[in-house]
Amino acid sequence: MLTREQIEHYRREGYVVVERLLDADTLGELRRVTDEVVAGARGLTDHTKVLDLEPTHTPERPRVRRIKSPHLAHPFYWDMAGHPPVMAALEPLIGRDIRVRAGGKVNLKSPGYGAPVEWHQDWAFYPHTNDDVLAVGILLDDMDEGNGPMMVLPRSHRGPIHDHHDADGAFCGGIDLARTPLDLSGAVALTAPAGSVTIHHARLVHGSAVNRSERPRRLLFFEYAAADAWPLAGTEPLDDLDGFNRRVVHGEPTLEPRLAPAPVRIPLPKAVHQGSLYENQRTLGHRYFATADEPEPAPESESESESEQGAARERAAAAD
């Protein structure tokens, strides 16, 4: 399914975009089901097990930020977790035996208010015994420069695991650039038509800005691990072996984890705000991306940006 160039690109850069992997019927059904689930937010006053709401949500004007564990809302999402074209794309990357983590999520970046996601590495949330772990993003809409595309820092999957803890030492699921400066000048926006998929390595640094366009940007994510990559920490309960093994959506489970060296930082103590990545990131000291009610930062020259990072670093040190 993937070309040799795509496989090499994934290994070297830490990500690959596969255009138009879904056929029109599957994409249409996915959109229909997603509209149906999102319609359930009308009347809600708080987050539910499935729906994560924007801070500006009201029961009359529903605003959904994420569908959490979408398979709990509709069985079609579970079918999608093992979708044969996706499995065929993953096999050359992490092998034949593939387990899906939890149940996926749909990040809905709605026009005008779709929330930003601060820079992070998925690996910070769920380190495993080896790093044959990745995430697949299925595009429900065209993703372009204007509607908050996912952005990645190429080759960062071969670098360190960065600090994702807040100033008080609790996990917060985001990288504070004032304390951990990253050179983001090489960051790449993943743009592609609806029905395409993005694949990124769990250690790759990534994030995304608010959606300032008039177009939705809905992205269904599934996170996968080689079946012999066992979680070291995170939210997967290991006392339910049947449930754990049922999530092997391709190939066979195993009781023999493969150990391979990879830098690990345990995501403890737990984030102050639980429920979703957006909630976890609320205690991140310095935000990189503007929120919908803030103006977009003016473009900076590299040296200005460096001195701004330096100043922010000093502020952070003073606050520590």
Ligand X SMILES: O=C(O)CCC(=O)C(=O)O
Handedness of CA 73, 74, 79, 80 (dihedral sign): negative
User: Closest approach of Cβ 44 to ligand X, in Å?
Assistant: 21
Q: What DSSP line would sit under 5-37, residue for residue?
A: HHHHHHHHHSEEEETT-S-HHHHHHHHHHHHHH
Q: Which of 107, 104, 88, 108 is nearest to 96 (CA)?
A: 88
- CB closer to ligand X, 97 vs 231: 231
Residue 219, token pair as written in the block:
């992205």
- For the chain, the farthest-separated pair of C-alpha atoms sits apart, in whole angstroms, at 56
Q: Please list the residues that pair with 16 across neighbouring strands.
A: 199
Q: Which of 149, 68, 63 is nearest to 105 (CA)?
A: 68
User: Closest approach of Cβ 301 to ligand X, in Å?
Assistant: 26
- CB closer to ligand X, 276 vs 309: 276
User: Closest approach of Cβ 221 to ligand X, in Å?
Assistant: 6
CA-to-CA dists, residue 256 to 212, 229, 280, angstroms: 47, 9, 32
- Distance (Å, whole) CA 22 – CA 49: 28
**What residue is closest to ligand X based on CB?**
208
- CB closer to ligand X, 83 vs 206: 206
151 in Cβ contact with 187 (< 8 Å): yes
90 alpha carbon, distance to own chain's centre: 17
- CB closer to ligand X, 199 vs 277: 277
- CB closer to ligand X, 65 vs 97: 65
- CB closer to ligand X, 110 vs 228: 110
Residue type, 276: S
- CB closer to ligand X, 140 vs 277: 277
Please report, as ranges, the residues that interact with ligand X according to CB under 6 A.
Answer: 107, 117, 122, 150, 206, 208, 219, 221, 277
User: Closest approach of Cβ 256 to ligand X, in Å?
Assistant: 29
Residue 74, token pair as written in the block:
């509709």
- Distance (Å, whole) CA 255 – CA 102: 19
Residue type, 234: G
- CB closer to ligand X, 190 vs 228: 190
- Distance (Å, whole) CA 72 – CA 316: 41
- Tell me the pairing of strands 98-100 and 248-250: antiparallel
User: Closest approach of Cβ 277 to ligand X, in Å?
Assistant: 5
